[in-house]
Amino acid sequence: MVTKICSKCNIQKPLDAFHNKAGGKYGKTKICKLCRKELDKKTYCTSEYRKHHREYEKQWRDSHPKQNKTIHQNWYCNNHDEIIKRNHTVYSKQIKTRAILWNAYESGQIKKPSKCEICAEKTAVLHAHHDDYDKPLDIIWVCPKCHGKLHIKNQ
């Protein structure tokens, strides 16, 4: 059995303990998988690296709007079925609750008021907010501004 010494921990290990690398001795990296994992944790899991990476990605997106749009459109098209399946799995209760509410609204069982129940502002657009999706008709009618505040408060 062929072995190799890790340049980080200096322990002799079998070749399958190293990642593949075309230019490396025996076609493997110098550092074993365990040491590489520890180095990656120290490097990539720090808040400084994450902050730097977020800034770099934002800068790239801002300077390449067409490529970014194309990338996202292609990703969405290629993953559309999985996205729909995931959303129906994750949000199935919300989807069913909204359908029940919509049917009740359309049949006249529930009336939409003309003003927000929190700030009392008269507005044409009101959202139906559910505190509990197990109670589909237990809602409060709120303006979009108050609805956003409710969701921020509930997080």
Q: Which two tokens stand for residue 126?
A: 């009101």
Which DSSP letter does residue 20 get? E
* Extents of the domains making up the chain: 3-44, 47-78, 89-154
Q: pTM higher than 0.85, yes or no?
A: no
Q: How does residue 7 score in pLDDT terms, banded at 50, 70 and 90?
A: very high
Torsion sign, CA atoms 109, 115, 120, 125: positive
Question: What is the per-residue pLDDT across 17-76, written as a single tens digit (0 to 9) for each?
Answer: 999 999 888 899 999 999 999 999 988 888 899 999 999 999 999 999 999 999 999 999
Q: 10 Å Cβ neighbour count for 62?
A: 9
Question: What is the per-residue pLDDT across 134-151, written as a single tens digit (0 to 9) for each?
Answer: 999 999 999 999 999 988
